[in-house]
Amino acid sequence: MRSCSMARTDDIVWLSLDASLRPIGVKITPAAFLGSTSPDWSDLFGGMLAIGASYVVTAQSQASTSPRCTGSVPYALNRIADAATLMGLRVVDHLVLRDDGFVSLAR
């Protein structure tokens, strides 16, 4: 597993939180994970559940030259939230990290 400082712009950082919203784990996957027709949600979220996660925060880098919020980001968030809910987890936020700041897509 790479450290967060080594995440590329095409990576997604998944932060696992316990029931008290304390961070308990982190995983980095390629953004292409979401583009697959059938991502292995059970492997991803199952690992989070195994360490006692109740909540998830995701973060994704985006070039500062990109629009503030492209259509694919909300679509990806909905896909993540739906899969997490089926596995018994709740997505707290999806952060889009940019050179000029960040955007929170909290629901």
List b or e across 37-59, with b for residues whose CB sees 16 or more CB atoms inside 10 angstroms: eebebeebbeebeeeebbbbbbb
Q: Can you give the pLDDT at residue 3? A: 40
**Among 40-44, 76-80, 84-88, the range of highest mean pLDDT:** 84-88
Determine the pLDDT at residue 99.
80
Instruction: Say what the pLDDT of residue 46 is.
Output: 93
pTM, full prediction: 0.78
Structure tokens at 13: 């950082």
Does 37 have pLDDT greater than 80? no
Task: Name the band, by pLDDT with cuts 50, 70 and 90, for residue 1.
Answer: very low
Taking a C-beta distance cutoff of 8 angstroms, is the pair 41, 87 a contact?
yes
Least confident of 1-15, 26-40, 63-77: 63-77
Helices 41-50 and 72-87, interaxial angle, to 10°? 60
